């Protein structure tokens, strides 16, 4: 199946809301929309390492930044 690949760039001390708003909006578009090309969303961080957000919550990167 064809898809639209979206990579969210995360970095140390990023605001969780800035990451979650984008990923959640695209996931909802896939669920409720009639999309011919769904979104495939992933989070990339420096070296593929975990990212600690400004709130202290740690997110796992799904791929390294290239």
Query: Which residues are 59's β-sheet partners?
Result: 51
pLDDT tens string 11-63: 999 999 999 999 999 999 999 988 889 999 999 999 999 999 999 999 999 99
Predicted structure pTM score? 0.82
Tell me which residue has tokens 């199946």: 1
Positive or negative: CA dihedral 46, 48, 50, 53: positive
* CA–CA dist 32, 15 (Å, integer): 26
């Amino acid at each position: 199946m064809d898809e639209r690949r979206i990579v969210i760039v995360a970095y140390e001390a990023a605001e969780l809301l800035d990451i979650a708003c984008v990923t959640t909006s695209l996931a909802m578009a896939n669920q409720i929309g009639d999309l011919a090309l769904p979104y495939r969303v992933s989070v990339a961080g420096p070296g593929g390492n975990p990212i600690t957000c400004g709130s202290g919550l740690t997110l796992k990167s799904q791929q390294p930044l290239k």
